Structure 1
Amino acid sequence: MPDLQDDRVEYWTNYYAARPASVQIMAQRSSKYIHYITQELERRNMPTELALLPFVESAYNAKAVSSAKAAGLWQFIPSTGTHYNLTQDWWKDERRDPVQSTHAALNYLSYLHGFQDNDWHLALASYNWGEGAVKRARDRNANTGLGTDYLSLRMPKETRDYVPKLQAFENIIRNPARYGIKLPHVADQPYFEKVSNTHDIDLDVAARLAEISVEEFRELNPSFQRNVLLDEHASQILLPKHKVTAFKRNLKNYQGELSAWEGYTPAPGESLASIADKYGISLDKLKSLNGYGPKQSVALSSRTLMVPRNSGAPAGITPNDIMAPAINTAAPAMLASNDNVARASATSPARVSAPAPSPALNNRPVMASASAVSVDPLADIIYSRSNNAGLTAGVRAVPVAASSTAVSAAASRSAVYKRPAVEVAVKATAKPAVRTASLTKPAPKADAKKKVSVHKVAKGDTLYSLAKRYNTSVQDLKALNNMSNTALKPGVSLRIPGAGSRG
C-alpha cells in the first residue's frame, strides 16, 4: 500500500507518539491476533499493513462494542456482519470471533478494493464511510473535473482522518525508536490454535483444563455469549498453541462433570413452565437464564435452552453468573483512534472534532522513511515477508516498560456525530502477571462460627435437595467440600454447614 502524504498523517503520528502507554497497551493486545491476521493477508496477496487496521477500529480489543452496536476487532455492525455470514444469536456473536471476523473483514476489504478501482485508500474510506458514499463523492468530483483520489474527495472529518490514523500507526510501528516508544516483543509465530469442542463444557472448566486463566480464555474466545459451550453447536475454541497438548491430556483424564448445564431443544408450542418443572428450576429463574421476558410463556423451538444438568438449579444463580462479562462502555476512551462508524452507504456521515495537538509536539520528528530499519519484532511480522525484506536487519526484542501513565480521553465529538466511539477502559497501572489456574480449586475457609455436620449421600440426593433440606446453599456445600462440580456419588460423606435441617 502506498504511503499517504498528508498533513493529517503528521498530526496523528504526533498524537499517538505523545501517548506511548496507550500504544504499548494496544500493541500488547495485538500480540494474540496479529500473526494470524498477517498470515491471512499474505495468503490473499493483500497489503500486510492492513493488520494494523484494528488499532484504528477497536484499539485491538476483540471484546470492544460501540454504542452503535459495532463489535469486535474489526467493528462490524449487525447488518454487515450478517451479510458476511457472521452468526449473531443468543449463544454466539462471531463479529467478536478473531478468526471468523478476520475472514469477513478481509473479504469485505477485498471487495471494496475492487469496487473502488483497486485503490486501497479509497477502499479504506469505504470501510469507514460506506462504499456508496465514497462512490458518490468520486462521481461528483469527476463531473466537475476534479480528482477522484482519497485526498481530493470531500468527506466527513471522521473519514478524512481514517487513513492518516492508519498511516500514523504504520510510521510508529515501522520505527518505534524514532518516536521514543518501546513495544512488546511479539513472536513471529502463531499464538493460538483451533481445537474442536465435542463436549458440553463450562468456560471456566475449559480454561482450567488448558491451564490458563479464564480471562485469557475469554480474550481468545470473545464470541461466546454464555458461560457454557454446547456440543450441539459444534464450536471451535482457540487456545494458546503451547497449551493445546495440556488441554487434550487434562480433558482425557478429567473425572468430574465438564458442565453444570446442558442444552434442551423445546418442542413447538412447549411451555416454559413445563420445562422448568421438568428440570426442577423455578419458572422465573429459567426465564432469566435464557433471556425470556416475564410475559413470555412459550419456549422458542428454534433456540436451545440452557438448563441445569442435574435436577434443581444451583442456588443463587443470577443472569450474570452465566453471561459473558459485559463490555465497559462508560469508561474514558483509550484514544481518538477508536472511532467506529456503521458501514452503510445510506447512513449520514459521521463527524469527529479532532483534538488540537500539543504545542510541545511541533518540533517532534515525523514520517519515518520507508527505508528505515525496524527495531521491533512487531514490525517484522507485518513487513518482513511480503513488503520489504530489508526491514528485518538489526532486529532486537524490546520488552514493554511498565507504565503508570494515565491514558488520555478521546477527542471530543460534535453533536451531529450519531455513532459514538468505542469506550475502552484502560488501567493506569501495570497489569500483574496472570497465575495459571490449577485443575482443582482450593476450598474457601469455612466460617469458624458455623456448626458443621456430616451427611452420607443416598441415591437420588442432589446438592439442590440437600441445600433445601439443611437450610443452606449449593455454593456453601461445594465450598465446604472442595467440589468443582455438582455430581454426587452415593455413599460419599458430605460436610454440611449449620444444623438447620428441615427434615
Structure 2
Amino acid sequence: MPNLQDDRVEYWTNYYAARPASVQIMAQRSSKYIHYITQELERRNMPTELALLPFVESAYNAKAVSSAKAAGLWQFIPSTGTHYNLTQDWWKDQRRDPVQSTHAALNYLSYLHGFQDNDWHLALASYNWGEGSVKRARDRNANSGLGTDYLSLRMPKETRDYVPKLQAIENIIRNPDRYGIKLPHVPDQPYFEKINNTRDIDIDIAARLAEISVEEFRELNPSFQRSVLLGEHSPQILLPKHKVTAYKRNLKSHKGALSAWEGYTPAPGESLAGIADKYGISLAKLKSLNGYGAKQSVALSSRTLMVPRNSGAPAGITPDDIMAPAINTASPAMLASNANVIRASAMSPTVPAQVTAPAPSPAANSRPAMASASAVTVDPLADIIYSSGNNPALTAGVRAVPVAASSAAIPSAVSRPAVYKRPAVAVVAKTTGKPAVRTASLNKPAPKVAKKKVSVHKVVKGDTLYSLAKRYNTSVQDLKALNNMGSAALKPGASLRIPGAGSRG
C-alpha cells in the first residue's frame, strides 16, 4: 500500500506518540490476533498494513461496541454483519469472533478495492464512509475536472482522518524508537488454535479444563453470549495454542457433567409456563435466563432456550451469573472526542458478499456526523483503553487518565522480530520499496551522544520526548541517552537536558 503524504498523517502520528501507554496497551491486545490476521492477508495477497486497521477501528478490543451498535475488532454494524454471514442471535454474535469477523472484513475490503479501481486509500475511505458515498464524491470531482484520488475528495472529517490514522499507526510500528515508544514483543507464530466442540459445556468448565482463566477464555471467544456452549450449535472455540493438549487431556479424564445447563427447542405455540414447570424452575427465572419480558407468555420456537440440565436451577446460580459479562461500550464523551478509535463503520448492507459482486446502488449509506472533540479535556483514548467488562465503574464514562501516563505497568515484551523466518512470503510493498511492517527492532541500544553544548528544558504538561526532539532538532534516542532515561513518561516540572541545537520555536 503506498504511503499517504498529508499533513494529517503528521498530526495523528504526534497524537498517538503523545499517548505511549495507550499505544502499548492496544499493541498488547493485538498480540492474540495479529499473527492470524497477517497470515490471512498474506494468503489473499493483500497489503499486510491492513492488519493494523483494528487499531483504528476498535483499539484492537474484540469486545468493543460503538454507540451505533458496531461490534468487534472490525466494527461491523448489524446489517453488514448479516450480509457477510456473521450470525447474530441470542447465543452468539460472530461480529466479535476474531476468526469469522476477520474473514468477513477481508472479503469486504477486497470487494471495495476492486470497486474503487484497485485504490486501497479509496477502499479504506469506503470502509469508513460507505462505497456509495465515495463513488458519488469521485463522480462529482470527475464532472468538475478535479482529481478523484483520496486527498482530492470532499469527505467528512472522520473519513479525511481515517487513512492518516492508519498511516500514523504504521509509522510508529515501523520505527517505535523514533517516537519514544516501547512495543511488546509478539512471536511470529499462532497464538490460538481452533477446536471443534460437540458437547454441552459451561464456559467456566471449558476454561478450567484448558487451565486458563474465564477472562482469558472470553477474550479469545467474545462472540459467545451465554455461559454455556451447546453441542447442537457445534461451536468452534479458540484456545491458546500451548493449552490445547492440556484441554484435550483434561476433557478426556473429566468425571461428571460438563454443564449445569442444556438447550430446549420449544414447539410452536408452547407456553413458557409449561416449560418452566417441566424443568422445575420459576417462570420468572426462565424468562430472566432467556431474555423474555414479563408480558411474554409464549416461547419463540426459533430460539433454543437455556434450561437446567437437572430438575431445578443449580444452587447459587442467578440470572446475572448466566448472562455474558458486560461488553465494553464506548461512552458518548469518548466517541465525541475520538470517534475513530471505536466507531460504527458505515458499511453498506447492500454490498454483495462475494468479492466479484456487482457494484451496489448509489444509495449506499453514509454515517452520522460525530460531535466536536473540543469539550473533552481527558485523554480521548482513555475510555476504550482502560474500560473493563468486569468493572462497570470504568464503562460509565471517560476515565481521566493523564496524557503522558506512565508505561511502567505495561509488559516489556507489538512488533515482529527483526529477522522474520517465513521463507515463502516476502513482506515488502511491491511498488514503494517500504520495509515490512513487522520488522521494527525493539532491542537497539541507545546511541552514544557526542559532546556538544547542552541546554535545559523545563517539562510542561503535554511534552513528549518526540515533540521535544522535533522542537530542539535532536532525536529521542539522544534525549534518552543524555538524560539516562528509560521508557517512563515525562513528569511536568522536571528538568530535561537538551543537546545544543537551535530550537524550532
Q: Same fold (TM over 0.5)?
A: yes
**Mapping of residues 491-502 of structure 1, within 5 Å:** none
In the alignment, does 2:406 pair up with 1:387?
Answer: no
Which residue among 344, 356, 364 is the counterpart of 1:341?
A: 344
Offset at residue 310 of structure 1 (A): 1.0
Q: Give, as a single letter, the amino acid of the residue that structure 1 aligns with 2:416.
A: P
Offset at residue 276 of structure 1 (A): 0.5
In the alignment, does 2:2 pair up with 1:2?
Answer: yes
SS at match of 2:75: coil
In the alignment, does 2:48 pair up with 1:48?
Answer: yes
**Mapping of residues 39-438 of structure 1, within 5 Å:** 39-329=39-329, 333=334, 336=338, 337-343=340-346, 344=348, 345-351=364-370, 353=372, 376-377=415-416, 385-387=426-428, 395-396=441-442
Q: Does structure 2 conserve the Cα–Cα contact (< 8 Å) formed by 1:229 and 1:235?
A: yes
Offset at residue 324 of structure 1 (A): 1.1
Q: Give, as a single letter, the amino acid of the residue that structure 2 aligns with 1:386.
A: V
Residue by residue over 1:155-175, the C-alpha shift from the partner in whole angstroms, topping out at 9 and shown as x without a partner, is 000000000000000000001
Q: Distance in 2 between matches of 1:219 and 1:205?
A: 16
Q: Does structure 2 conserve the Cα–Cα contact (< 8 Å) formed by 1:196 and 1:235?
A: yes
Offset at residue 182 of structure 1 (A): 0.2
Residue by residue over 1:183-220, the C-alpha shift from the partner in whole angstroms, topping out at 9 and shown as x without a partner, is 00101000000000111000010001000111110010
Offset at residue 318 of structure 1 (A): 3.0
Q: Give, as a single letter, the amino acid of the residue that structure 2 aligns with 1:225.
A: Q
Q: Distance in 1 between matches of 2:56 and 2:137?
A: 23
Q: Distance in 2 between matches of 1:159 and 1:378?
A: 33
Task: Go from structure 1 to structure 2 and tell me whether the alpha carbon gap of 1:149 and 1:378 turns closer, same or farther (over 3 Å shift).
Answer: farther
SS at match of 2:237: strand
Q: Distance in 1 between matches of 2:150 and 2:115?
A: 14
Offset at residue 395 of structure 1 (A): 4.0
What residue ranges of structure 2 are gaps of 5+ in the alignment?
Answer: 349-363, 378-413, 445-460, 463-505
Q: Does structure 1 conserve the Cα–Cα contact (< 8 Å) formed by 2:63 and 2:73?
A: yes
Percent same amino acid among aligned pairs?
A: 81
Q: Distance in 1 between matches of 2:79 and 2:439?
A: 44
Q: Give, as a single letter, the amino acid of the residue that structure 2 aligns with 1:198.
A: T
Offset at residue 330 of structure 1 (A): 6.0
Task: Go from structure 1 to structure 2 and tell me whether the alpha carbon gap of 1:25 and 1:114 turns closer, same or farther (over 3 Å shift).
Answer: same
Task: Go from structure 1 to structure 2 and tell me whether the alpha carbon gap of 1:18 and 1:293 turns closer, same or farther (over 3 Å shift).
Answer: same
Q: Distance in 2 between matches of 1:6 and 1:234?
A: 48
Q: Does structure 1 conserve the Cα–Cα contact (< 8 Å) formed by 2:417 and 2:441?
A: no
SS at match of 2:301: coil
Task: Go from structure 1 to structure 2 and tell me whether the alpha carbon gap of 1:240 and 1:350 turns closer, same or farther (over 3 Å shift).
Answer: same
Task: Go from structure 1 to structure 2 and tell me whether the alpha carbon gap of 1:177 and 1:395 turns closer, same or farther (over 3 Å shift).
Answer: closer
Q: Give, as a single letter, the amino acid of the residue that structure 1 aligns with 2:179.
A: Y
Q: Distance in 2 between matches of 1:2 and 1:199?
A: 48
Offset at residue 314 of structure 1 (A): 2.4
Q: What is the aligned length?
A: 384
Task: Go from structure 1 to structure 2 and tell me whether the alpha carbon gap of 1:379 and 1:64 turns closer, same or farther (over 3 Å shift).
Answer: farther
Q: Give, as a single letter, the amino acid of the residue that structure 2 aligns with 1:31.
A: S
Q: Does structure 2 conserve the Cα–Cα contact (< 8 Å) formed by 1:224 and 1:324?
A: yes
Q: Does structure 2 conserve the Cα–Cα contact (< 8 Å) formed by 1:49 and 1:170?
A: yes
Q: Distance in 1 between matches of 2:317 and 2:118?
A: 54
Offset at residue 385 of structure 1 (A): 3.6
Q: Give, as a single letter, the amino acid of the residue that structure 1 aligns with 2:7.
A: D
Task: Go from structure 1 to structure 2 and tell me whether the alpha carbon gap of 1:381 and 1:183 turns closer, same or farther (over 3 Å shift).
Answer: farther
Task: Go from structure 1 to structure 2 and tell me whether the alpha carbon gap of 1:22 and 1:143 turns closer, same or farther (over 3 Å shift).
Answer: same
Residue by residue over 1:379-402, the C-alpha shift from the partner in whole angstroms, topping out at 9 and shown as x without a partner, is 87799842269657784569xxxx
SS at match of 2:212: coil
Offset at residue 355 of structure 1 (A): 6.3
Offset at residue 295 of structure 1 (A): 1.1
Residue by residue over 1:38-74, the C-alpha shift from the partner in whole angstroms, topping out at 9 and shown as x without a partner, is 0000000000000000000000000000111000000
Please provide the CA RMSD for this pair: 2.7
Normalising by structure 1, we get a TM-score of 0.72
SS at match of 2:39: helix
Q: Distance in 2 between matches of 1:57 and 1:163?
A: 11
What residue ranges of structure 1 are gaps of 5+ in the alignment?
Answer: 359-374, 399-405, 408-503
Residue by residue over 1:260-311, the C-alpha shift from the partner in whole angstroms, topping out at 9 and shown as x without a partner, is 1001111111111111111100011001101111111111111111000111
Task: Go from structure 1 to structure 2 and tell me whether the alpha carbon gap of 1:169 and 1:181 turns closer, same or farther (over 3 Å shift).
Answer: same
